[in-house]
């Protein structure tokens, strides 16, 4: 029973990550037509998000 709950939970997590990645890609495509400076800012933001996700993932694994 517990295993089924874990599989369901990870499925939701994976779906959320896929959705966020899709939205990020759509935003990058939309901004590609604008100035390159903003794209650089978005790349920095995505790097920050990646670091945050790694730290939160580590905390989640420790629990």
Residue 47's domain spans which residues? 2-62
Per-residue pLDDT of the chain (63 residues; tens, 9 = 90+): 678 888 888 888 888 877 688 778 877 777 666 555 555 676 777 788 777 766 655 555 554
What integer pLDDT is reported at residue 31 of this predicted model? 67
What integer pLDDT is reported at residue 37 of this predicted model? 57
What integer pLDDT is reported at residue 16 of this predicted model? 80
Contacts of 39 (CB under 8 A, 6+ apart): 28, 31, 32
Q: CA 35 to CA 38: how far, in whole Å?
A: 6
DSSP SS3 for 34: coil
Contacts of 36 (CB under 8 A, 6+ apart): none
Q: How many domains does the chain have?
A: 1
């Amino acid at each position: 029973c517990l295993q089924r709950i874990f599989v369901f939970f990870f499925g939701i997590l994976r779906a959320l990550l896929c959705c966020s990645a899709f939205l990020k890609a759509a935003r990058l495509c939309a901004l590609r037509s604008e100035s390159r400076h903003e794209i650089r800012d978005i790349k920095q933001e995505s790097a920050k998000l990646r670091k945050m996700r790694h730290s939160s993932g580590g905390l989640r694994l420790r629990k």
